[in-house]
Structure 1
Amino acid sequence: MQLILVRHGRTQANAQARFPLTSDVPLDGVGREQVTRTGQLLAASDFRPEVIHSSDAARALQTAAALRDVIDPDLSITPRPELRELDWGELRGRSISPGAAGDTSYARWQQDPMSRLPGGESLIDVATRVDGMLRLLADDGRPAIVVSHAVTLTVLTARIHGWDLLETWRTHRAHLPPGQFRRLELTAPPVPARSLPRRT
């Protein structure tokens, strides 16, 4: 089945290079423009989605609604907690940049993203959520748009392709900028996330 993965449009937190403080962060003006352009590209393509699955965060649902309005006003949007962004725990609201102006915790976690952030999640936690979502999509079988977040979409892309999760994370080969999309084919659900290799 065909999937379009879309990262939500830009937010003020993205523009400031900060981890979002809450799930209620809305799109900013640039983000709204990004999503409108993506919707126009998808509407002009040969892809015909039958449903939109979206993270239940405000910025993702806002993105999903904007895409629906451009592509097909009759498309249903289903909020999915499984598609939430990685829980940043104690990093919420902090700067992504390390050093005096930011926080070194993120840089430390980058060295071992399979471990849980303090008060948050690991990549394995996200993979477990994503795998449940992929099984749901495979069972449903309809071509779909999936609206989510940077880390979650990286994990989802790696799981669909069968790529090593840690290598995918470190090479950034699955990264999507805000408002951008990727088209993929889902042929079968992945093996359980617990079998993912952990490298040091």
Structure 2
Amino acid sequence: MPIIVFIRHGETDWNVEGRFQGQRDIPLNARGRGQARRNGLTLADIMPETKDFDFVASPLGRTRETMEIVRGAMGLDPSLYRQDPTLKEITFGQWEGFTGPELKALFPERVHEREADKWDFVPPGGESYAMLSMRIKGWLDGIDTDTVVVSHGGVCRVLRGLLLKLDPSVTPMLDVPQDKVFVWNGQAAGWI
């Protein structure tokens, strides 16, 4: 199994507001750009061998900007990376743009369903974590070289769940910081 270095996109204003972003194309804020820079500098310092890895990002703007900042901080050409639509965030469908409290006020029964089974719950017009996991498993099965990936919180959760063979009920609850880098070395995982 190749080494996988995972970076979540930097912070956006919707992250700060607690809005369901999903596949909406929300830009990074100033703090998010700083987080991306920090992650690039960390890789250059602690894992300089990553300069020779394959670099791939979700095609959403916040991930592309994060990747370009990361690569620039590593001293690499910011534009030399691939995009893969498989790495897009879980879609929350009609719930995108809302905060949790707003959804609870509008759709209390549906929010209760989601809280009871976050893994299998499908928001209106969206996808479940189980569906996202199938998408990401297909991507993971195709990885054949050491890779730096910039993607999203939901993607990182299911990727970690697959790599670490976690129970699906735990996976959607995993914390995914935006100012750290997740490294899977083929046998073990950790944050730097």
Q: With structure 2 as the length reference, what TM-score do the two structures score?
A: 0.84
Provide closer, same or farther for how the CA distance between residues 178 and 56 of structure 1 changes in structure 2, counting only shifts above 3 A.
same
Task: Please state if 1:96 is matched with 2:70.
Answer: no
Which moved further from structure 2: 64-73 or 150-159?
64-73
Q: How does 1:12-161 map to 2 (within 5 A)?
A: 12-20=13-21, 23-49=24-50, 50-74=53-77, 76-97=80-101, 104=108, 105-113=110-118, 114-137=120-143, 140-141=144-145, 143-161=146-164
Change over 3 Å in CA distance of 1:159–1:121 after alignment to 2: same
1:76-126 CA-partner distances (Å, limit 9, x unpaired): 311111111110012111012367777644453132221321110011110
CA distance in 2, matches of 1:33, 1:59: 13
Which stretches in structure 2 are left out of the alignment for 5+ residues?
188-192
Task: Count the aligned residue pairs.
Answer: 181
1:2 aligned partner, one-letter code = I
Letter in 1 for 2:171: T
Q: 1:99 to 1:162 in 2, by over 3 A?
A: closer
Query: Could you tell me how far apart the structure 1 residues matched to 2:124 and 2:11 are?
Result: 26
Rounded Cα–Cα distance in structure 2 between residues aligned with 1:100 and 1:157: 28
TM-score (norm 1): 0.81
Supply the distance in 2 between the matched residues of 1:22 and 1:123 (Cα, whole angstroms). 14
Counterpart of 1:44 in 2: which secondary structure?
helix
CA RMSD, Structure 1 to Structure 2 (Å): 2.2
- Contact 1:98 / 1:106 at 8 angstroms: preserved in 2? no
Hey, what's the Cα distance between the residues in 2 that align with 1:162 and 1:21?
24
3-state DSSP class of the match of 2:5? Answer: strand
CA distance in 2, matches of 1:121, 1:68: 31
Match for residue 178 of structure 1? Answer: 178
How do 1:183-194 and structure 2 match up within 5 A?
183-186=183-186
Structure 1's 146 and 111: CA in aligned 2 closer, same or farther, altered over 3 A? Answer: same
Offset at residue 167 of structure 1 (A) = 2.3
5+ residue gaps in structure 1?
A: 188-200
Cα 1:28–1:111 shift into 2, 3 Å: same
Return the alpha-carbon distance in structure 2 between the equivalents of residues 166 and 109 of structure 1.
12
Instruction: Tell whether the 8 Å contact from 2:57 to 2:150 is kept in structure 1 after alignment.
Output: yes
Which residue does 2:190 correspond to in 1?
Answer: none
The alignment partner of 1:6 has SS state of: strand
Equivalence for 2:8: 7
SS in 1 for 2:6: strand
Secondary structure class of the residue paired with 2:142: helix
Alpha carbons 1:23, 1:58 under 8 Å: kept: no
1:59 alignment partner AA: R
